[in-house]
Structure formats: structure tokens, C-alpha cells
Structure 1
Amino acid sequence: MHGGVRMSVASVMQASQGLNASVEALAALGAALRIRSEGMRVDPDVASLLDRVIEAIQPGGIEDLTADQAAIVLAFVRAFFRQALDLLENPARAPGWSFEDPVILQAQGQASRSIAQTFCAYAEKDPDFAAALSRPARLLDVGTGVGWLAIECARLWPTMQVLGIDIFEPALVMARGNVAAADIGARVAFRNQDIADLDEVEAFDLSWFSGPFIAADKVPESLRQIARATKPGGWLVFGTYNPPPSELGRLLTGLRIVRSGGRPWSEAEAADLIEAAGFESRGSFTTGSPVLVVVGRKAGKPQ
């Protein structure tokens, strides 16, 4: 009984059947993305039905996506499914990031590659940010995970040096393997280090901070450490989740983030946090992906 309304077995079953269609639709989308990104051969009858399902989900289908774009969206789908299964199988586990499953870690990391495209899109509306990316720059990637954002940034900006830090060694082991296979030279490095222990001063031109993946009580001090490590005129990009339009979507996003050990920071909260740390808020930006970024800049003239 909830809110004075008694739910019957029949009503719960009916609700579960309705939700099952959404789960299967997401699985079908993931399958189509995998077929496109990996060039898989599929039984013609299955392929025909799958095409019809995708057309019902997304009129026009996914034909306009490149294989690389399809792989990024597929990574989001895989991560959602793996975390949903963890909720089903381990509802009583304590909050925190404890996934060592390579599929989850790589899927989450592949999804983070889209953040580099968000940098590009934001640069189109902020000439100062664009100028920072066009110069040789040093990027700090806080909570680098398996390193795919660091790798993607190094690919997009050939003069950029990237330091990725994380406290989860299983992810860093994979990050080192990923960067070794990426053929980007020695421009990306990783450390097993807490942001609280970062001792660089005015060393970075740009920092990426994934707010929802950091324990909420550590975020203010972490941002102060980043401000200390940022050069005058340098930038902070605070990533949080772009809130879904529905109340159910927002609740589910919050549940997923809290179980991962973080907090679903709002745009206004993120702006307040970066200003309290010593950055000037330059506003927020999203490309329509699950990620919303709030951008801040440190006072001073770029070196």
C-alpha cells in the first residue's frame, strides 16, 4: 500500500508488462547500434523485424550515424543495462562505485567519449574556450576511469597533454591498456591519486570534473584543489546529468547516481559550487546527450 492506494497483483503485473516493452525496445536499439558499429551479419528475418522496431522507436532509423557514433550510443545502452541488472541483483549493497566488470567499465568509458564532442560544441559558442583548445594545453581528467575521455581529447587536439587521475585501480589498469592501443604517443598519463592529494599549482589549462561520480561531501574541497591547480585564465568543465523530461526519468537517474556513490547535482548547484571554488561561471551547455556541463573560468590572463 502506498499513498493510500492498494496495489493488486494484477495491477503490478500489468505495470511490469508495460515497462517490459520499454526494456525490450532499448535492447533492440542497442542491438541495432551494435550491428551498425561492428558490421555484424544478421538473419534476414530478424534484421527486417529489427528495422521495423527501430523505425517505430526512431523514425528515420539510425542510418545517419557513423559506426563511431553508434558505438558511443551503444556504450550508454550497455552501461544502463549493466547497472540496472546490478540494482535487480544487489538492491541492498552500500552506495559506491564497486564495478570491476570489464564490460561495465569499458561501456561507461566509451560513453564518456561524447564529452569531448560537448567540448567542441561549447567551443563554437565561446571563442575564449575555443582559443584555449587551439593552443598547446594541459588537461586534468578527474575520475578518468578507463581513460577514454582522455584518449579522445588527445586524438581531437594533437598538442594537448592529458593527466587522468582516479582512485579505482581496476579501471586504471584498463586505462593503461586502452592508451597503449590508441597510438597517441606519450601525451596521456594516468595516476592512482585522490584529487585531495593533487599537489600541482597552476599547472593545468583545463579540467574535467564528473560531479555525480564524486562523493558529495568531497566535491567542494575537490573543486578548490582544482582551482589551485588551474592556471590563470584556465577552465573547469563540471559535468552532471542532463535531467530527463519525465519525473520517473529524473527519479531513476537520481537512484542510479546515488547507488554509484554520488549526487545528481542540478545546474544551479553546480554553478554555485564552481563559483565558491574560485571560478567565474560561464553558463551551461548540453548537446542533448545525458550529459550537461557547467563551465567556469579562473580569473587572470592565460599564460
Structure 2
Amino acid sequence: MSESIIRRINELSQAARMLALIGAALKLRNADAGDPAIRQEIDAGLRLVLGSADIAIADAELTPLLTKIDMALTESAELFKHPARSAGWQVEDQDLLLAMGRASGQAFGRILALAESRPSLRKALDGLFLDVGTGVGGIALAAAQSCPRLRIDAIDIWEPALRLAADSVAASGHAARIQLRKRDVTELEAGPRYTLAWLPTMFLKRSVLNQAVDRIVAASRSGSWLVAPIYTVPDEPFAALMSSLRTLRGGGELRDPAELTTLLRSRGYGNIEVDIGPISSFVIGRLA
């Protein structure tokens, strides 16, 4: 192996450890815990990495930053440990499931932000929310906490995630408004009841996605909203490659918001917009 490759691997290995050290320092920032000698070393490491042990971060920014670091480290570890696993959602690693749940929970904050300038979407937050692919319940719990009148129908087919979700919901104080069910979205019962639906397209084959949208339409009220996230494809080549890999390993196929927009429009959705985020972009529309 050439010296340049070895040098590059050494650099990246050190970068991974630096990211872990920053995350550790952030976790300990407001905590009175840990061995003082170890904390001293972590602070010393932080000064080496960032030039200061005093990171000027507002409390409101702390959780999103920790979630980003958590996701980067756990997702990378899962890829390294299981590079040969087939496409599709088959993750059993509890740490990765919980990390993804924490990350997805923040997505509901984006829905709230979109609702601020869209009165009909804001009104939908007082009705019945369909959380497709709820996983460990991150979005369902965030929705229940943020919207006291919203009821949530949270469905998934992956039992390892649903078991974790059941524990979290039971401990949350919101169990009365969150119904967890093992249910495939393509088998969703008809009948107009949902005012808002979340459909993570990055985990669905095109054929399944078509069926899923049909079933959601059949189960939604007139004027209801659909939020369909899709992984953002950045301009930077490596980030774009990772976005594509994340979609493929998750079992998805769709990567172009324009294709998703066409699909929703063909099913009767209007007022379609694309809200671009660093990790995922939301394609949102309102049913006629």
C-alpha cells in the first residue's frame, strides 16, 4: 500500500476520533459527572481540536449538534460492520435505530416551521397525523409534545423498532394520543380521517411508493397535507455519493424531488413545494 493512502487513512481515523471527542465534550458540557481526570483530558483534546475548551453554543443548538454527531458515528459504524447486507430496511442495531429516531424527531420541527406561514397546514396539526415508518417513534413523540390537540397513528412493519417505540411512548406521558400499530402502509384502511401524513420515500421502492400514496389518499380528508421527505443530493461529490448510498441501503429508489412532485400531482395533490434541507428535502402538497 502506498504511503499516501496510509497517510490519508491515518488522517481520517484521527478525524473520526476528533468528532467523537467533540461529541463527548458536548455531552459533558452541562453535566456534573465523569472522572475529573478524564474530563480534563477531554477538555485538553477539545482545545487541540477547536482551539478552545469553551464552545460558545446556545442550549437550543446543543441537541441538534449532538444528534448530527451521533448519526454520523453510528451510521458510519453500521456501514463498516455490515457492508454486505442487502438493500432494504433491516437494521437491528439498537444504537442506530435510536440515533435515527432522535434525528427524525427533529424533522417535525421543520413541519412546525412550514405551518407558521401556511394556515391550512397549521390547522391540520389539530387533527389526526399518520406517521408512516414511525421507527422508534421519534416523529410521533415530537408531534405529540409540540401539538397538544394532535392525535397520532404511528405505523411500521419493523418489530425491533416498534418494541423500542412502545417503551418510549409508554414513558412519554403521551400514550393516550399515540396509537402504535404494526401495519404496512399499502394495507392502510380506506376512509377519510387523516389531516396530515408523513411518508418517508427514501425507504420505499417505486412500486410500493405508488401504492402507499394511493392508500394515503384514500384514508385522508379533503384538504389534508402530505409531507414526503427524500434525501437531499448535495453538490459536493462525496456527500452526493453518501446520499445515494443511504437511499439504496435503506431500500429506496427515488432520488429526484421532481419525480416525487409529479407522482403527488397525479394523485390529486396541489400547492406542491420542495423545502430543501441539508440531509433531507420535504416535498409537501395539499389534497384537493
Counterpart-to-counterpart distance in 1, 2:32 and 2:50: 17
2:28 to 35, 42, 56: 35
State the match for 2:218 in structure 1.
228
Cα deviation for residue 21 of structure 1 reads 4.4
Which one-letter code corresponds to 1:53 in the other structure? V
Counterpart secondary structure, 1:159? coil
Cα deviation for residue 189 of structure 1 reads 0.7
Cα deviation for residue 187 of structure 1 reads 0.2
- Moved runs in structure 1, 4+ residues, more than 4 A? 37-42
State the match for 2:96 in structure 1.
104
State the match for 2:246 in structure 1.
256
User: What is the aligned-residue RMSD (CA, Å)?
Assistant: 2.4
Cα deviation for residue 140 of structure 1 reads 0.1
Normalized against structure 2, the TM-score is what? Answer: 0.89
Cα deviation for residue 40 of structure 1 reads 4.4
State the match for 1:144 in structure 2.
134
State the match for 1:80 in structure 2.
72
Deviations 1:83-138 (A, max 9, x none): 322322322221122221221111110111111110111112323322332xx310
State the match for 1:3 in structure 2.
none
Counterpart-to-counterpart distance in 2, 1:185 and 1:22: 41
Counterpart-to-counterpart distance in 2, 1:181 and 1:296: 33
Counterpart-to-counterpart distance in 1, 2:30 and 2:210: 39
Counterpart-to-counterpart distance in 2, 1:250 and 1:62: 30
* Distance change (3 Å), C-alpha of 1:183 and 1:93: same
Counterpart-to-counterpart distance in 1, 2:32 and 2:90: 32
Greater shift after overlay, 72-81 or 165-174? 72-81
State the match for 2:170 in structure 1.
180
State the match for 2:2 in structure 1.
9
In structure 1, runs of 5+ residues without a counterpart are 1-7
Counterpart secondary structure, 2:89? coil
Normalized against structure 1, the TM-score is what? Answer: 0.85
Which one-letter code corresponds to 1:130 in the other structure? R
Counterpart-to-counterpart distance in 1, 2:253 and 2:189: 26
State the match for 2:285 in structure 1.
296
* Distance change (3 Å), C-alpha of 1:268 and 1:61: farther
The number of aligned residues is 285
Counterpart-to-counterpart distance in 2, 1:216 and 1:54: 44
Deviations 1:58-83 (A, max 9, x none): xx9452133xx533442343233223
Greater shift after overlay, 12-21 or 107-116? 12-21
Which one-letter code corresponds to 1:35 in the other structure? L
State the match for 1:20 in structure 2.
13
Matched, 1:44 2:40: yes
State the match for 2:152 in structure 1.
162
- Asked if the contact 1:25/1:53 (under 8 Å) is kept, the reply is yes
Counterpart-to-counterpart distance in 1, 2:47 and 2:265: 48
